[in-house]
Chains A and B, each alone.
Chain A
Amino acid sequence: MARQQIGIGAVPRRPLGVRIRRFRGRLLVAVGGESYELTDSAADIFAWMSGSLTVGAIGAQLSADYGIPHEEAVADVAEFVSWLLERRLAEMTTPPPAAR
């Protein structure tokens, strides 16, 4: 199955039913009996997915915090959000007017 393409203006958020634990420096997320350990950068992206930031804005934050080129950061965020969507660890919401 082809991975869903995520636009820069898309606004992802964490579904409310996802279980989250910070344990011994690791972020673990679980839904429907499946659990995953996120890397530091993935954990940050996941934390920023509050439903108020676009993929572009999250990418800008990632670029600033990790010192990677902006375009590369946005692409990484889009790829990761797509991965989360496939696992029901993310859902898309309507972008706020200012972000459209």
Chain B
Amino acid sequence: MDVTPLLNTLRDRRMLPDPCIAVLLVGSAARGWSNSGSDLDIYLISDRPWPGADSAAIALPLDPPQVRSESFYLDGRRWELTYWQDRQVDQMLTKISWPEFDRDVAAGTVLVLREEAFLERLASGVPLLGEQWLTGRRAELDASAFRSLLITRSLGAADDAVEDALGQLAGGDLHSAVISARIAFGHAVDALLEERGQYGSYAPKWRARRFLAANPQALSFEEYWDMETMRGLDPAAPEKWIRKVLTRCQDISLKVEI
């Protein structure tokens, strides 16, 4: 991917921080999954706050407790820029360290969504500037408990939904049980994909894309897609489908290594 035009646009519009540690194209465009309606998401890393007077603040549980965001349209496409400070990256990596993981803090409460998205995008982003910085940060991410943390959260969420489905089945609430089973399956598949380094479960719209990228051995794409699209569900007698899906969730739990 030729990223020079992107960088030139940012430079021409005076939207690069000074000093600039790294600029990353992230999100669907970085993964090759974007379409004509997709935003261009870009992260800019500096060791100073972004001074842009028109920028919006986004609150985060970090120090400083916010990042700044700028957006503009160019040729009908929306550019979304987020300015991070390098020490905020340090703090996010500390949150997912092994000592923190071993403290048994509830996995779903360690990171807020924007932090999780940042770390996921660190793994998949394309550098416009700062390739060496990105390589180093990726090594830190790989050595962290990020993967284990996400798997733990996804399996926990799957278990909770399985429990819901079984309770609803027992109570004769079949409609709710179908929905709970489908939710459980989504979380179980997310765990399977996270085990193989395909993060981003906060955006289920990309699950099929992530599945194909992960190519897990424990579940074929065909079987995954059948369940994702609820093929085989008999609306008049959904119990068989529900039990099949819940069984598959348990099979996945047996195979995924945290």
Asked if A68 lies at the interface with its beta carbon under 8 angstroms from chain B, I say no
Could you give, for residues 47-72 of chain A, a 1 whenever the CB lies within 8 Å of some chain B CB and a 0 otherwise?
10011000000000000000000000
User: Is B126 part of the binding interface, using a Cβ–Cβ cutoff of 8 Å?
Assistant: no
When the two chains form their complex, are residues B166 and A17 in contact, meaning their CB atoms are under 8 A apart?
A: yes
Nearest Cβ on chain A to B171's Cβ, whole angstroms? 14
Q: Are A18 and B250 in contact (CB under 8 A)?
A: yes
Interface residues on A, range: 10 to 19
One digit per residue, 1 when the CB lies within 8 angstroms of any chain A CB and 0 when it does not, for chain B 234-258 equals 0000000001001100110111111
Interface residues of B in 12-50 (CB under 8 A from A): none
Task: Given A21-B155, A23-B258, verify A16-B246 contact (CB < 8 Å).
Answer: yes
Instruction: Name the distance in Å between B193's Cβ and chain A's nearest Cβ.
Output: 16
> Quick check: B258 and A21 within 8 Å, CB to CB?
yes
Contacts of A25 in B (CB 8 A): 257
B178 at the interface (CB under 8 A from A): no
B163 contacts A by Cβ under 8 Å: yes
Q: Give the CA-CA distance A24 to B155 in the complex, in Å.
A: 15
Chain B, residue nearest A43 (CB) = B254
Within 8 A of B (CB), among A1-37: 14, 16-25, 27
> Does chain A have a CB within 8 A of B159?
yes
- Note all chain B residues with C-beta closer than 8 A to A24: 258
Q: A14-B250, A22-B256 are in contact. List 10 more A-B contacts (CB 8 A).
A: A16-B246, A16-B247, A17-B162, A17-B166, A19-B159, A21-B155, A22-B254, A22-B257, A23-B258, A47-B254
Instruction: List 27 A-B pairs, Cβ < 8 Å.
Output: A14-B250, A16-B162, A16-B166, A16-B243, A16-B247, A16-B250, A17-B162, A17-B166, A18-B250, A19-B159, A19-B253, A20-B250, A20-B254, A21-B253, A21-B258, A22-B254, A22-B255, A22-B256, A22-B257, A23-B257, A23-B258, A24-B258, A25-B257, A27-B254, A46-B254, A50-B247, A50-B251
